[in-house]
């Protein structure tokens, strides 16, 4: 059954995810602070709205996918936010990677107004969003998850209910911890192979199919070699995520030295002016440490 869906946040991933809902025949109302980023969805039938509140007033299910926790709070809880206009029985799904404590707060604020809510961050990058094969990690009430599952299935391939409100965000933090240290390994392996005089493409053929294989290695290493550092996921947003994870770890009296190192390397990358590039542009920071001529406009290959 088709329903009225609202989508707030049409960036790199949000636009692609919303397009799958349109293709399935759902009515889609959209809002983005930069309205130009809604153009492709509007051209395919989405209705452009002027505020989160206006999206909420015309939707049965509202998805938000914005940048930072402060954006989430303003979009949902602000004076012109979703909760200012959402009707009782409406479902709110925040797919932003955000703070677990904020997800719990939103769940409580929604319940007080008769609105249902889920926290449902995703993993899979721009490719996963375009190809509708994201991993979606969901926290909230199980009956609400069951109700939204058919919509999630239009955007992802791995949709897992994690537990109570905030559990989706905690799961995403675990995901980001894995990616942060894994990306260091991808970049350092390429640098080592370069200095050893290996053909990097040939080297990847061997290691990608062995025990070292990973999503980041298969998807991002070829982009690094091609000099394509455009974002599947922004460095600026990744630094935000690592900060959230480290604050949660501190609260739990948990030491995560690998993540702390990764955060410092990514902050160095931001300082070099690369905050709007993809997370795999970490190569630029690590290459500079060893004076290897890896540039944002293209990469070196020892046999090219």
The model's pLDDT over 241-273, given as tens digits with 9 standing for 90+, comes to 999 999 999 999 999 999 999 999 999 999 999
pTM: 0.92
**Class of domain 170-289 as given by CATH:** mainly alpha
Out of 3.40.50.720, 3.40.190.80, 3.40.50.300, 3.30.365.10, the CATH code matching 4-165 is 3.40.50.720
pLDDT tens digits for range 179-229: 999 999 999 999 999 999 999 999 999 999 999 999 999 999 999 999 999
pLDDT at 51 over 50: yes
Active site residue 172: yes
CA distance 11 to 17: 10
Average pLDDT over residues 125-131: 92
Element (H, E) at 218: helix 215-226
Catalytic residue among 49, 116, 157, 172: 172
Average pLDDT over residues 153-164: 98
What are the φ/ψ torsions at residue 88 (nearest 5 degrees)? -60, 140
Sign of CA dihedral 105, 110, 116, 121: negative
Left if phi > 0, otherwise alpha if psi is -120 to 50, otherwise beta: which for 140?
left
Q: How far apart are the two ends of the chain, measured CA to CA in Å?
A: 54
| 77, 190, 201, 202 from 205: Cα distances, Å | 49, 13, 7, 5
Give residue limits of the domains in the chain: 4-165, 170-289
């Amino acid at each position: 059954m088709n329903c009225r869906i609202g989508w707030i946040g049409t960036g790199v991933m949000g636009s692609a995810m919303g397009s799958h809902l349109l293709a399935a025949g759902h009515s889609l109302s959209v809002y983005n602070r930069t309205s130009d980023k809604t153009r492709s969805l509007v051209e395919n039938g989405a209705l452009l709205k002027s505020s989160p509140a206006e999206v909420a007033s015309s939707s049965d299910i509202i998805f938000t996918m914005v940048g930072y926790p402060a954006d989430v709070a303003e979009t949902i809880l602000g004076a012109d936010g979703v909760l200012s206009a959402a009707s009782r029985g409406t479902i709110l799904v925040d797919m932003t990677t955000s703070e677990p404590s904020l997800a719990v707060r939103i769940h409580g604020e929604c319940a007080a107004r008769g609105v249902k809510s889920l926290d449902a961050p995703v993993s899979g990058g721009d490719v996963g969003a375009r190809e509708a094969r994201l991993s979606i990690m969901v926290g909230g009430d199980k009956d609400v998850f069951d109700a939204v599952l058919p919509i999630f299935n239009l955007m992802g391939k791995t949709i897992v209910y994690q537990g109570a409100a905030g559990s989706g965000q905690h799961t995403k933090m675990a995901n980001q911890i894995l990616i942060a240290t894994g990306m260091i390994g991808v970049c350092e392996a390429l640098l080592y192979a370069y200095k050893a005089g290996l053909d990097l493409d040939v080297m990847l053929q061997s290691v990608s199919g062995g025990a070292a294989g990973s999503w980041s290695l298969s998807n991002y290493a070829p982009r690094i070699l091609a000099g394509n550092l455009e974002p599947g996921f922004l460095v600026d947003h990744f630094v935000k995520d690592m900060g959230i994870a480290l604050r949660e770890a501190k609260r739990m009296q948990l030491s995560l030295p690998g993540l702390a190192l990764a955060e410092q390397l990514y902050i160095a990358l931001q300082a070099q002016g690369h905050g709007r590039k993809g997370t795999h542009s970490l190569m630029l920071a690590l290459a500079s440490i060893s004076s290897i001529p890896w540039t944002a406009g293209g990469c070196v290959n020892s046999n090219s």
